[in-house]
Structure 1
Amino acid sequence: MVANKSISAAKIRTDVHEMILESGKRIKYVAPRNIAMLKDALTIMRPVERSLLGDHTTDDWEGVQDFCQAMDDMIEVEMDRELFLGKKVLEIGFCTGLPSAFALQRGAKEVEIYCDSQAALECYIKPTLRRNNVRPEKYKIVSALHLSSIDASLNGYDVILAPEIIRNTEENLEVFHSIFERVLKDGGIILLMGRTYYNDYDGNIPSFMDFVKSKGQFDAIIRWTSQNQKKEQQEVAPRKMIQITRCIR
């Protein structure tokens, strides 16, 4: 989900970074200071100790950037110009504000961000939205102590953005699926991303695709893969963007 709630915002040192997408679009964002950047079309993260990010690592931060690049490709390459136009959007999963800022730049009507960490909210999310000139009336923060208690607080969404939820436990994946069932509008889409394999968690892309199919509520397709983007790197476990829609009955 988001950075560990036990981490104090005062202990997290941040810097302002800028992501340059392949289309030339730019997104400013705030991230931990010791996440070093390499100048590249897709920013590559160097290792950083997990303890500074709670339950998240630099791979998760790289995943959020891949997530934005995938959305950019959908709009600029696949010409899906109405992906966010006039839409109500929810950001859930590893929340940083980056996907929400992107969606608002591309015409989203409003965004809501689920956050269970005050440190993440104050250190990353709000500063990232401010750096991208997002007005306070364009976003809402949804808070809840536990995933299982948040669906009552959420309303119908046209688009749900869920970076890095695949690296999770089976129990939490069940909860996410339940939330998606309740809050996704008819005709809406869910975009989520993860790697084909993790050595420290239950989740991976193949098992998640099977899990979604077994539930019988959604159809899932792969819309983007990092292997196509980083041809110079032979990734052992490439990251993939999955699009989920309600089954047509």
Structure 2
Amino acid sequence: MVLIQSAGLIESQPIPNELCMESGNIIPFIAPVPLNNNSTNAEHQKVVLLAQEKRLLFGDLNEEMDKWSGASEFCTAIDSIVEIESETDFFKNKKVLEVGFSTALPTIYALEHGASSATLVYPSDEAYQTYIKPTIEQNKNVSDNINIVIGDVDNLEEKISEKFDIILAPELVLTNSKYFDKIHALLDSALADNGIIILSGRTHYHNSSGNMSLMLEMIKSKGRFVVIDRTPECQRHDTAPRKIVQLMRIF
């Protein structure tokens, strides 16, 4: 059973990309699809995003493209927290876990902004070797502080015994909703007492019973976390918006 998303292997050469954020931060990475977001034509970008949203609702949007776009939007959101909202110590001296649709982009961002160490969870060694390892190698300034764990929600509690100050979970809700209890238990187990979870996902997926709306309903019913919406303003009015939320423990 695979609950944690991995990058799909596509029969083409891995493509070099650059994630260019509003603050000026840039992260080079490798992906199976072209995702460079450094276009200066903002109106053209809006048209492209609107077309993607409509295709998502009708089920013909390339799933791989949307997951990688989600990873980019996730990094844009944490960049907004650190740079735009001036929470400059957000990652300082923190132990970070990346789980979900793992690309290493959030991990690299966290380490470049003061995190002490990061653990990256990935379910597929083949996809890791194709995309994640080359991305880490392109960011050598932080590569020594990344620990890789090959695993899934079913066995992660056995493989990860430590607690994390920040858990970064892009697209973790993009799975069958029947696994949400396991995901909630994993997050609860892995988070330090005063820790923070940043979770992202769309309010609707054409090809998945799981989505952010259902996850937030379950989180509320469990009563373990308080939810704060950290979705950037530019993403709030999409057709099927990708919400980004912060979870903290309720004491």
**TM-score after normalising by structure 2:** 0.84
Give the structure 1 partner of residue 22 of structure 2: 22
Q: Distance in 2 between matches of 1:134 and 1:111?
A: 13
Give the structure 2 partner of residue 239 of structure 1: 242
Give the structure 1 partner of residue 234 of structure 2: 229
Structure 1 residues 204 and 92: alpha-carbon distance in aligned structure 2, compared to 1, 3 A threshold: same
> How does 1:39-188 map onto structure 2 within 5 Å?
39-40=38-39, 57-144=64-151, 146-154=152-160, 155-188=162-195
Contact 2:20 2:37 survives alignment (8 Å): no
Question: How much does 1:130 deviate?
Answer: 1.3
Give the structure 2 partner of residue 200 of structure 1: 207
Tell me the SS of whatever aligns to 1:80.
Answer: coil
Contact 1:160 1:184 survives alignment (8 Å): yes
Contact 2:165 2:195 survives alignment (8 Å): yes
Contact 2:19 2:37 survives alignment (8 Å): no
Give the stretch that moved more between structures: 100-109 or 121-130: 121-130
Give the stretch that moved more between structures: 163-172 or 62-71: 163-172
Contact 2:20 2:26 survives alignment (8 Å): yes
Question: How much does 1:246 deviate?
Answer: 0.8
Cα RMSD between the aligned structures? Answer: 2.5
1:196-234 CA-partner distances (Å, limit 9, x unpaired)? 211221222222111101111111121114xx2269xx6
> After TM superposition, which residue ranges in structure 1, 4 or more long, deviate above 4 angstroms?
41-47
1:107-140 CA-partner distances (Å, limit 9, x unpaired)? 1100001111012211111111111124543011
Q: Distance in 1 between matches of 2:248 and 2:179?
A: 20
Tell me the SS of whatever aligns to 2:92.
Answer: coil
Give the stretch that moved more between structures: 200-209 or 14-23: 200-209
Structure 1 residues 104 and 160: alpha-carbon distance in aligned structure 2, compared to 1, 3 A threshold: same
Q: Distance in 1 between matches of 2:126 and 2:179?
A: 22
Unpaired segments ≥5 residues, structure 1: 48-54
Q: Distance in 2 between matches of 1:4 and 1:239?
A: 19
Contact 1:196 1:204 survives alignment (8 Å): yes
Q: Distance in 1 between matches of 2:196 and 2:112?
A: 18
- Return the structure number with greater helix share: 2
Tell me the SS of whatever aligns to 1:148.
Answer: coil
Question: How much does 1:56 deviate?
Answer: 5.0
Structure 1 residues 56 and 115: alpha-carbon distance in aligned structure 2, compared to 1, 3 A threshold: farther
Give the stretch that moved more between structures: 134-143 or 21-30: 134-143
Q: Distance in 2 between matches of 1:170 and 1:230?
A: 24
Question: How much does 1:195 deviate?
Answer: 1.1
Give 1:114's aligned amino acid. V
Contact 1:2 1:120 survives alignment (8 Å): no
Q: Percent identity?
A: 31
Q: Distance in 1 between matches of 2:20 and 2:38?
A: 9
Q: Distance in 1 between matches of 2:109 and 2:156?
A: 24
Unpaired segments ≥5 residues, structure 2: 53-61
Question: How much does 1:4 deviate?
Answer: 6.8
Tell me the SS of whatever aligns to 1:147.
Answer: coil
